[in-house]
Amino acid sequence: MISDIALFITAIGVLGVVFGLRQNYLERLQQFEGKYVARYWDILDQLSLDALRGSCPDLISEEDNKSMRSYILLCEDELEMRKNGYISDDTYQLWADGIKGQLQQPMFRKAWQEVKDEAASNHNFPYKHLRQLLNEENADIYDPLVMRSWRRWVRGLAHVRWVRRPRPASIQAAAHAEPGDPAGRPSIAASVAPNSQDGHFT
């Protein structure tokens, strides 16, 4: 009996340590991600109206060219930090979508092509993560992070996702049936995602 109580107290203590460690990781992640968002807005503030409007003049100014190259470097740096476990799962999904959309803008697409050509000829900076993220042959979003689920949770990178067991089709139809609809046809509902500031807007 006493040994069981001691084991229970020990387990509670271990859980407390784990949750405290996770909270420290979460706070550090928020600070780290916030710095990257601030860097993104600093670059955005330096762009011309042509770049912000999504147009692409024949001659790109030196200031825009420098800012877009800074943005491309920032993106590669973010992907490298994701690989090292400093960007959370949710934030990475938002940033990855934003990067792909941003680099589809005409002026950014032109700058990215120039950067790729220079990297291929000079072999100075390969942009390996950004290349894989933008590879159209990848059906899913490229993720440079390789880490077990439990470690992701402890480090604050992932949340617990509850998986609900699927119900039989007949029960699902009844649950979604419109009032007075004997056929049990599902109702149509629109879901609206909450607004978020991810640091990468298209």
Cα–Cα distance between 97 and 76 in angstroms, integer?
14
Q: What is the pLDDT of residues 45-85, one digit of tens each?
A: 999 888 888 777 778 899 999 999 999 999 999 999 999 98
Cα–Cα distance between 141 and 107 in angstroms, integer?
23
In this predicted structure, the answer to whether residue 185 has a pLDDT above a threshold of 60 is no
CA 116 to chain centre: 23
pLDDT range class, residue 191, cuts 50, 70, 90: very low
pLDDT range class, residue 163, cuts 50, 70, 90: very low
Q: At what angle do helices 62-83 and 2-45 cross, to 10 degrees?
A: 170
Residue type, 6: A
Q: What is the pTM of this model?
A: 0.67
Beta bridge partners of 200: none
- pLDDT of 167 reads 45
Q: Max Cα separation, the chain?
A: 81
In this predicted structure, the answer to whether residue 149 has a pLDDT above a threshold of 80 is yes
Which residue matches tokens 């697409």? 109
Residue type, 17: V
Q: What is the pLDDT of residues 109-125, one digit of tens each?
A: 999 999 998 888 777 77
Cα–Cα distance between 154 and 91 in angstroms, integer?
16
- pLDDT of 27 reads 81
Residue 7 forms part of a structural domain: no
Residue 94 forms part of a structural domain: yes
Percent of the chain whose predicted confidence (pLDDT) is above 70: 66
Please, are residues 87 and 48 in contact by the beta-carbon 8 Å criterion?
A: no
Number of other CB atoms surrounding residue 131 within 10 Å: 15
Query: Domains in the chain: how many in total?
Result: 1
CA atoms within 13 A on the CB side of 28: 12
In this predicted structure, the answer to whether residue 6 has a pLDDT above a threshold of 80 is no
Residue 101 forms part of a structural domain: yes
Quote the domain boundaries for residue 117. 31-146
Residue 40 forms part of a structural domain: yes
Helices (H) and strands (E) in the chain, counts: 8, 0
Residue 41 forms part of a structural domain: yes
Q: State the DSSP code for 180.
A: T
